[in-house]
Structure 1
Amino acid sequence: MQYTLKNNQVTVQVDTFGAEMHSIEHEGMEYLWQADPKFWGRHAPVLFPIVGKLKNGSYRYADKTYQMSGHGFARDNEFELIRATQDELVFELHENEDSLNHYPFHFNFRVSYKLSANKIRVRYDVKNEDEKFMSFGVGAHPAFNVPLKNGKFEDYQLTIKPDGARTFIPLDVPTGTIKVDERKEVTVSTLPLTRALFEQDALVYSSSDEMSVSLTNSIDDHGVTVSWKDMPYFGLWSPYPSEAPFVCIEPWCGIADDQNTDGDLITKFGINELAPDGKFSCEYTIEIK
C-alpha cells in the first residue's frame, strides 16, 4: 500500500513493500526513476541487512552457511506502517520465518521519511533484539531521472563535496565484489555524466564524515542534492551499456564483499556490529530544486 507526504513544494509517495519511495514530485515534475523494467525495475530500494553482493551469494556464520541475494531481503519484504503524521511516515520490519533462513538474527528495522520544505530526510534505525552480537549493513539506493526535464544524459553532472582526495574502491564486474587490494586515492569533485563513466559498474568511494553529491545540468536550475553524515561509503551507478535515463546516488553503511573474503560474516569488510539490545541509526537527505 502506498502512503503520501505532501507540502506546498514536494509530494512523496512511499510503498509499504520494501518501505521504498515510489515518487518525488516538485512543480509537476517527477524526480524519482519510475522503475521501467526495461532498464531497472526499482525506484529507491532500502538495503538491509547487507549492502552489495556476497561472494558466491553466501556467507558463513557460526559454522553454518547462509544464502542471501545482493543488497539483502528488506527491499522484498512488506513493512508495517507504525506512524503517519502530516510530515512523517515510519515503517517497521522484524525478522520472520523466511528471513531467519537467510539471516539468523532477531531485529527491529525502521525506515522513516520526513518532509520539510523541499527536503526529504530518510532515516534508518536498527535494533538488535537477539541475545548475540548482530552483524549487518544498511544503505540507500535512490535513482533520479536524467534528464529531469530538459536536455540529455550528457548535459548533466555529479558534483561531490567536499572535493579532494578520497579512496576509490573498484568493483569486479562479473561478481559485483570489491577489489580491496586495488583501492587507490583519487581526487574527485565533478563527474560529467557519460555512459562510459559506468563501464566498470558502479563507482564506489569512501565518504567524508559529512558530504553531499549533487545532480545538476547546464540547461536549467533543476537538480537534486543527496547529503549525509557518518555513512562511510557511497556508490554512483547507472546501467551500462544500456542508455538508462537515470543515475543512482547511494550512501552506505556497508559495502559488497571483498573478492578475497573467507566468507565469515563477522569479519566481512565494512560490516557493522551491534551488541544485544544495541541500537544503530543513520540518515541522509534529498534536497529538490
Structure 2
Amino acid sequence: MITTISNSTLKASINHAGAELISLKDNQKEYIWEGNPEFWGKHSPVLFPIVGTLKNNTYKVHEKEYQLTRHGFARDMEFQLIEKTGNSAVFSLESNEETLKKYPFEFELQLVYTIENTSLNIEYIVINRSEKKMPFSIGAHPAIALPENFENYAFKFEKHESLKYNLLENDLISNKTETLKTVNNVIPLSYKLFENDALVFKTLESTSLTILENSKPYVQVDFEDFPSLGIWTKDQAPFVCIEPWFGYSDTAENSGDLFKKEGILILDIDQSFHSKFSIKIL
C-alpha cells in the first residue's frame, strides 16, 4: 500500500512496506531513485535496529547470541499508517514474535513524514517498551536521483573541515582512513570515489550537504541531529545516497556485545528517542 502527502510545491509517496519513501516530486522532476534492481532495488530504507554490518552477522546480549543481517529488519517489515493529514503521515512498527527472535527488546518505531515548503522532513521516534535498557542504532539511506551524467554533480559541504572517512573491509569498519580534498568545500562526484564501497564519516562538523548539478544547487540534505554520515553509490548507477546515521558497521575487533558496540545508543526503560533529517529541493 502507498500513502501520498503533498503541498502546493512537493508530493511524496511512502510505501507501507518498510515505511520507505519511494518518490519525491515537484512539478518538474523526480528526486528519489526509481529502485531499478539492475543497480539497487531500494529507494530510501530505514536502518534499524542496526546500521551497517555486524561481524559474522552476529551479536550478543547478556551472553546470548542473535543473528541480524545488514542494516537490520525494519526495512523489510510492514508498517501501519497511524495518522495522516494532507502534508504529513505517521507510520508505526511494533515489536512482535518475529522481531523478538532477532532482537530481544520490545519497541515501537515511528517514522513521521512532513512536507514544509520545499522540504520533506523525516523524523524517527524510537520508544523502548521493554523492562530493560535497549541498545540500538538507526539511520537513513535516501537515494537521490541524478538524471544527468554523474560527473555533472558535486558535493558542497556546509563547513570547511578535514573530511576524514573510514574505509570498509569486508563490509566492516577498518582503521584505515582517507581524506577528501575539497576546493571551497566542494568535491566533484566520480565513481572512483566509491571504488572501495561507501564513504563512512564517523563524525562531521557539517550538518548539511548540498548536491550541485552543473555547479547549481540541486538538493540539500540537512542532518543536524545525526553524528555520522555515509555516502554511497554503485558503479555507473544514476543516484547517490546521503545517509545520516547513529551508528555504523562493526569493527574487526568488535567483541559482539551489542551494549559495547561502537556508536550504539542505549535507551532507558519507557524512554523515547527523537531525531530527524530533511531533504530540501533547491
TM superposition shift of 1:166: 4.5
TM superposition shift of 1:184: 6.2
- Alignment partner of 1:182 out of 165, 176, 191: 176
- Alignment partner of 1:191 out of 187, 196, 212: 187
Answer yes or no: is the 8 Å Cα contact 1:162–1:208 preserved in 2: no
Give distance in 1, aligned partners of 2:155 and 2:276: 20
SS in 1 for 2:151: helix
Q: TM-score, normalised by structure 1?
A: 0.93
Question: Which position in structure 2 is the counterpart of 1:116?
Answer: 116
Could you list the structure 1 runs, at least 4 aligned residues long, displaced by more than 4 angstroms after superposition: 183-188
* 1:145-160 equivalence runs, <5 A: 145-147=145-147, 151-160=148-157
Residue 285 (structure 1) aligned with residue 281 (structure 2): no
Q: TM-score, normalised by structure 2?
A: 0.95
Give distance in 2, aligned partners of 1:145 and 1:116: 21
- Residue 285 of structure 1 aligns to which amino acid in structure 2? S
Give distance in 1, aligned partners of 2:52 and 2:214: 32
Give distance in 1, aligned partners of 2:186 and 2:70: 29
SS in 2 for 1:214: strand
Give distance in 2, aligned partners of 1:115 and 1:210: 23
TM superposition shift of 1:210: 5.7
Answer yes or no: is the 8 Å Cα contact 1:112–1:122 preserved in 2: yes
Q: Tell me the matched-pair count.
A: 280
Question: Which position in structure 2 is the counterpart of 1:229?
Answer: 224
* 1:206-245 equivalence runs, <5 A: 206-208=202-204, 211-218=207-214, 221=216, 223-239=218-234, 242-245=235-238
**Unaligned stretches of 5+ residues in structure 1:** none
TM superposition shift of 1:163: 2.3
TM superposition shift of 1:254: 1.2
* 1:8-47 equivalence runs, <5 A: 8-47=8-47
- Residue 213 of structure 2 aligns to which amino acid in structure 1? N
- Residue 215 of structure 1 aligns to which amino acid in structure 2? I
TM superposition shift of 1:168: 1.6
TM superposition shift of 1:206: 3.1
Answer yes or no: is the 8 Å Cα contact 2:141–2:243 preserved in 1: yes
